[in-house]
């Protein structure tokens, strides 16, 4: 799932999903004028929760395969041309 790999590359973590979900629902309410207890908003909340859970699980599997989490400093010790330039 390319989006999950992009999320991992951007260091999106499980704890970010509730924040995004809360703000997404507020934005939908602002645009539609619907209240928090409206069935449409509740449906969006449920759908987002399902999608977020899927991404969290897939991204956990990706993170588990990685050598480390977060940024890691590297020191470049050599630069070598390996192919012809075109």
- Which residue in 5, 13, 15, 17 is the catalytic one? 17
Cβ atoms < 10 Å from Cβ of 41: 17
Question: Is 17 annotated in the active site?
Answer: yes
Question: Is 22 annotated in the active site?
Answer: no
- Which residue in 59, 61, 82, 84 is the catalytic one? 59
SS3 for the chain, per residue?
A: CHHHHHHHHCCCCCCHHHHHHHHHHHHHHHHHCCCCCCHHHHHHHHHHHHHHHHHHHHHHHHHHHCCCCCCCCCCCCCCCCCCCCC
Catalytic residue ranges: 17, 59
């Amino acid at each position: 799932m390319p989006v999950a790999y992009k999320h991992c590359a951007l260091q999106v973590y499980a704890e970010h999903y509730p924040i995004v979900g809360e703000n997404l629902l507020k934005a939908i309410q602002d645009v539609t004028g619907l209240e928090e207890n409206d069935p449409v908003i509740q449906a969006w909340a449920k759908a987002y929760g399902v999608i977020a859970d899927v991404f969290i699980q897939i991204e956990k599997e990706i993170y588990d395969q990685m050598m480390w989490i977060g940024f890691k400093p590297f020191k470049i010790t050599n630069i070598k041309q390996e192919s012809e330039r075109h």
